Amino acid sequence: MKLSKNRLRECREKEGMTQEALAQKLGVTRQTIISIESGKYVPSLQLALLIAKAFGTSVEGIFGV
């Protein structure tokens, strides 16, 4: 499955956060953040909720199908 909307990179850069910092905050590896940003990997619901929480927005605000 491919995501039609993926604003993770945009949100991260807006917050001035590095991939490493976001990965540490979410408890995943930096490669996972890279994969999600490049659209290679679709995060699970749990990770998507964590990402949304980290940016203070909803899941729909970052990802979409």
Partner 1 sequence: MDEPARNMLKLGFGLIAIVLGLALNILGVGRTDFLFDSVGNWLMYIGFMTLVIVLLRKIVAKKKVVDERMEYVSAKAMRITFLALILISFVLMIVDGISPITMPYYMFLSYLICALLIVLLLSYKILLRFFY
Residues that bind partner 1 (rule: CB under 8 A) add up to a total of 12
* 4/46 with CB nearer partner 1: 46
Stretch of 9-17, 40-48, 56-64 contacting partner 1, by CB under 8 A: 40-48
Q: Taking a C-beta distance cutoff of 8 angstroms, is the pair 33, 24 a contact?
A: no
Buried b (16+ CB within 10 A) or exposed e, 41-64: eebeeebbebbbebbeeeeeebbe
Q: Smaller CB distance to partner 1: residue 14 or 29?
A: 29
Note the residues at the interface with partner 1 (CB under 8 A). Answer: 27-29, 31-32, 35, 40-41, 43-44, 46-47
